[in-house]
Amino acid sequence: MVSVPIQVTVWSEDLGERDAVRLVYPDGFHQTIAAGLRAELGSGASVRTATLPEPEHGLTSEVLSATDVLTWWSHSANDGVADDVAERVRQCVLDGMGLVVLHSAHLSKPFLRLMGTRCTLRWRNDEREVVWTVAPAHPIAAGVPSHFVIPRQEMYGEFFDIPPPDELVFLSSFSGGEVFRSGCCWTRGKGRVFYFGPGHETYPVYRQPEVRRILANAVRWAHVPVPSPIDTSSSPRLPRGWFEATGNL
């Protein structure tokens, strides 16, 4: 069985980040995240990047139709994403594209529209986060220790206003006493969505080996290699006996 590389598009807003950010991510998040995925996935993935300032934010129909999994980092510019691009991303997920939503993208338009809830949370800067694996058999936890520490990180805490996850993979605690469902899986339509909490812009979270491993696992998990023949673009009216006529009898 010849394995075809997963087509990954790594998106970030890339707003010519503030100096404090450039110290940590000199080429922008997308480059750091893409480099991590390339290192982890090797020939198993073909990774490109796209950013907000590009035409259609770099997420044209052509790009998305050639994307198996989209990773999305955004923060300041959540509201700056055009509605039609956000809706295009949502439609692609419903048709089978994987979506990996990172950190502050909990308030990004594609995620909000897919979840249907407010996705608000509590937050505070500069905490120690401990990430705990609560689903040891889950593919996204493969090779991830029972727990690991992110020395400095933004606290994201409950109540996180998301739909109850289909699968809860990671929980986090913070030195201030808060907890957070930091690794959550959902299926929406024919697509898979993973949210991962860690990743503040002023700390080198995406360079940490455990986080790189998790993002690579998430890309593999979110990839649906054999598309289902089910078409959900409309509610078809069927004649009586239609399924006998589809060749299965």
Measured from the CB of residue 46, what is the shortest distance to a copy of itself in angstroms?
A: 15
Name the token pair of 6. 């997963």
Q: How far is CA 26 from CA 9, 50, 125, in A?
A: 19, 16, 21
Give 58 or 121: the residue with its C-beta nearer to a copy of itself: 121
Measured from the CB of residue 55, what is the shortest distance to a copy of itself in angstroms?
A: 27
Residue 78: partners with Cβ closer than 8 Å, 6 or more residues away: 104, 105, 107, 108, 109
Phi, psi of 144, deg, nearest 5: -95, 135
Give 24 or 107: the residue with its C-beta nearer to a copy of itself: 107
Cα Rg of the chain, angstroms: 19
Please state, as a whole number, how many other Cβ atoms lie within 10 Å of the Cβ of residue 187.
12
Hey, CA dihedral for 58, 59, 61, 65, is it positive or negative? positive
Among candidate residues 205, 225, 21, the one with its CA nearest the CA of residue 102? 205
Measured from the CB of residue 136, what is the shortest distance to a copy of itself in angstroms?
A: 3
Name the token pair of 203. 């700390």
Give 48 or 113: the residue with its C-beta nearer to a copy of itself: 113
Measured from the CB of residue 27, what is the shortest distance to a copy of itself in angstroms?
A: 27
Give 65 or 117: the residue with its C-beta nearer to a copy of itself: 117
Give 21 or 99: the residue with its C-beta nearer to a copy of itself: 99
Give 51 or 173: the residue with its C-beta nearer to a copy of itself: 173
Measured from the CB of residue 41, what is the shortest distance to a copy of itself in angstroms?
A: 9
Burial class of 215 by CB neighbour count within 10 A (0 to 12, 13 to 18, 19+): buried
Measured from the CB of residue 65, what is the shortest distance to a copy of itself in angstroms?
A: 17
